[in-house]
Amino acid sequence: MSNRLNTTPNDLRAFWMPFTANRQFKKEPRLFVGAKDMHYTTHDGRQVLDATAGLWCVNAGHCRPKITEAIREQAGELDYAPAFQLGHPKAFELANRLVDIAPEGLNHVLYTNSGSESVDTALKVALAYHRVKGNGSRFRLIGRERGYHGVNFGGISVGGIVANRKMFGTLLTGVDHMPHTHQPGKNAFTRGEPEHGGDLASELERIVTLHDASTIAAVIVEPVAGSTGVLIPPKGYLQKLRDICTRHGILLIFDEVITGFGRMGTPFAAQYYGVTPDIMTTAKGLTNGVIPMGAVLVSSEIHDAFMSGPEHMIEFFHGYTYSGNPIAAAAGLATLETYKEEGLFDRARDMAPYWEDGLHSLKDLPNVIDIRNIGMIGAIELDPIAGEPTKRAFSAFLKAYENGLLIRTTGDIIAMSPPLIAEKHHIDEIFGKLREILKSNI
Ligand SMILES: Cc1ncc(COP(=O)(O)O)c(C=O)c1O
């Protein structure tokens, strides 16, 4: 019996698309066929202004020559090198360049291929670290409600988005969650860090009291939660988490998959907030989104704890066929050079106030119940249509696309994070178009 779907080359049925309303999409496809700098080109030949850097990843803008050329060259020179027991120079070079811009003390790099893999790698490092230190009873992992840490089993276990968890059985055991920090009643329309909610970090102390510190390996949070709709940490919150973790010998993991590489106007959010984690996960902007790659940075204390036993023995039983892949490493190096040469992190810092003003100018529009921002990140929360959650924001997304603007929605929240090359006129265009869309009573 044939298993063929009887498809033609351009048939849309075979590809089961990720995090997509597949049936809606396939009725009204939205395809990109080209991209340059701040714009996509659609299959029907229109230009779409990218207000989301793809999926929070194209921080230097699209099809940047240095990155494209590095990939082209590397593919012709060394396409693949086995990742286990062998290496190639660019993987080492990139690790050093990452350490150069990382918060002080994060001196070692493990490579992955995505944010989800970075998260699961970080959780495994944390568990194994305690074990090699003789503290194998520290098996618990603590996440946070509304956290997003990718889609693998570790990530959804510590994550706190119910739709991403409820279909998938028992997940990891020994996981607990802190409350999220979103308090729109108290903090609505805050510019930057909210005043209220810093004390929610004390909930970690309560969890420690419940389980005992001797059972807890690590706490993982996004410094700024992105995929759940942009939740900005209240003043003092992250420092408090840091203090509690330090006091109880618990590792603090920052998931910087979207906050890394200049999004906050600093290399990483850790530097923006002046709070250094023990482990940091990255991906996305590491290669400007062009080639799948992630990296997990760990402290020397953690790395060195594994460097014992006979020298011929593997120290950590973990890694991927594509860890530090040559083409990805070349893309990563060219990306970091582009960020540096064009001063894009500083540029993001300098542009952030203009971004903030533009965003908050939409406050008067119908159904807008909150606006929040930090660095080059912004969110507009809409009042859900009664009985039809997510529909209002999804309509805004579709209208924006028709009107030549790419935004992202999650629930009834519009989230934006433009490439860091955005000029003032791009920002004006983003908020001008959004004003018209939100005014039209979606
Ligand atoms: C904070 C965070 N962690 C992990 C991930 C997962 O990354 P990926 O989709 O590359 O697996 C994301 C993706 O948006 C993210 O925002």
Question: Is there a single domain that holds both residue 354 and residue 240?
Answer: no
User: Does residue 244 belong to any structural domain of this protein?
Assistant: yes
User: Does residue 7 belong to any structural domain of this protein?
Assistant: no
Q: What is the pLDDT of residue 1?
A: 46
User: Does residue 16 belong to any structural domain of this protein?
Assistant: no
User: Does residue 95 belong to any structural domain of this protein?
Assistant: yes
User: Does residue 202 belong to any structural domain of this protein?
Assistant: yes
Structural domain count, the chain: 2
Please give the distance, rounded to the nearest whole angstrom, from the Cα atom of residue 440 to the centre of ligand 1: 33
Q: What is the pLDDT of residue 75?
A: 98
Please give the distance, rounded to the nearest whole angstrom, from the Cα atom of residue 117 to the centre of ligand 1: 9
CA 378 – CA 232 distance, rounded (Å) = 10
Please provide the size of the chain in residues. 442
CATH of the domain at 394: 3.90.1150.10
- Report the predicted TM-score, pTM, of the whole model to 2 decimal places: 0.97
CA 296 – CA 272 distance, rounded (Å) = 19
Question: Is there a single domain that holds both residue 45 and residue 142?
Answer: no
For atom 13 of ligand 1, the residue with the nearest CA is 150
| Domain boundary, last residue among 341, 358, 380 | 341
Low-confidence ranges of the chain (pLDDT < 70): 1-9
Q: What is the pLDDT of residue 8?
A: 66
Q: What is the pLDDT of residue 4?
A: 56
Ligand 1, residues at Cβ distance < 6 Å: 114-116, 119, 148-150, 222, 226-227, 255, 257-258, 283
Question: Is there a single domain that holds both residue 179 and residue 318?
Answer: yes
Question: Is there a single domain that holds both residue 77 and residue 37?
Answer: no
Q: How far is CA 25 from CA 54, 62, 81, 415, in A?
A: 18, 24, 38, 20
Q: What is the pLDDT of residue 352?
A: 98
Question: Is there a single domain that holds both residue 248 and residue 369?
Answer: no
Burial class of residue 134 in the structure, from the number of CB atoms within 10 Å of its CB (0-12 exposed, 13-18 middle, 19+ buried):
exposed
Which of the listed residues 57, 116, 221 should we mutate to test ligand 1's pocket, taking the one with most ligand atoms within 8 A of CB?
116
Enclosing domain of residue 174? 68-341
Please give the distance, rounded to the nearest whole angstrom, from the Cα atom of residue 73 to the centre of ligand 1: 28
Question: Is there a single domain that holds both residue 76 and residue 196?
Answer: yes
CATH of the domain at 119: 3.40.640.10
Please give the distance, rounded to the nearest whole angstrom, from the Cα atom of residue 295 to the centre of ligand 1: 12
**Which helix (H) or strand (E) segment is 256 a member of?**
none
User: Does residue 113 belong to any structural domain of this protein?
Assistant: yes
Q: What is the pLDDT of residue 3?
A: 57
User: Does residue 2 belong to any structural domain of this protein?
Assistant: no
The identity of residue 279, as a single letter, is: I
Question: Is there a single domain that holds both residue 48 and residue 182?
Answer: no
Q: What is the pLDDT of residue 10?
A: 77
Please give the distance, rounded to the nearest whole angstrom, from the Cα atom of residue 259 to the centre of ligand 1: 10
Strands in 71-213 per DSSP E: 106-112, 140-144, 175-178
Question: Is there a single domain that holds both residue 148 and residue 276?
Answer: yes
